[in-house]
Amino acid sequence: MATASGSSDLAGSGAPPPGGEVQAAAAEEEEREVVRVRVKKCESFLPPEFRSFAVDPQITSLDVLQHILIRAFDLNGKKNFGISYLGQDRLGQEAYLSLLSDWDLSTAFVTASKPYLQLRVDIRPTEDSEYPVPWEAQLWVLPCPHRIIPPLAVHLLTVS
């Protein structure tokens, strides 16, 4: 009897049922109609370019996002590029995580889109690119650019 009146008291007081906060948060995520997106395009040694737009997470696939980015940055589909989003890695540190599938994109929408989804587009030069990568830069193929450790400087001394 006490349980029945206790649960009706909770319902009558407007308090959410146990676990209701989790359900409400999940429902809020599902009901989001628009996700604001900010994109930074990085290409070789050129200054970065920025674009902002909004997408519907319910109908935006990775393929659709790629087409939006091609049009936004006038890539004409000729350039090879990678997309990553600013999220948290396994250690809880902010890092750019690759968007390789629709599942990755869904994860980005749920975990990293408030107040906006921050994307980075990295243009990979092709052999016929007008901006070839200098030989020295080819040595810096690392998965995480903010963790680059500079090489040791070698100084030549001449004795006269």
pLDDT averaged over consecutive 10-residue blocks of the chain (160 residues)?
A: 45 49 50 89 93 96 95 82 94 95 96 95 74 49 47 47
Judge: domain 31-138, CATH 2.60.120.380: no
Domain ranges of the chain: 31-138
Q: What is the pLDDT of residue 156?
A: 47
Its pTM surpasses 0.75: no
Query: For residue 20, what are the CA distances in angstroms to 12, 29, 50?
Result: 15, 14, 39
Q: Is 77 left (phi over 0), alpha (psi -120 to 50) or beta?
A: left
What stretch of H or E contains 52?
strand 49-55
Contact yes or no for 62/101 (Cβ under 8 A): yes
Q: Which two tokens stand for residue 86?
A: 């600013």
Q: Which two tokens stand for residue 80?
A: 């090879």
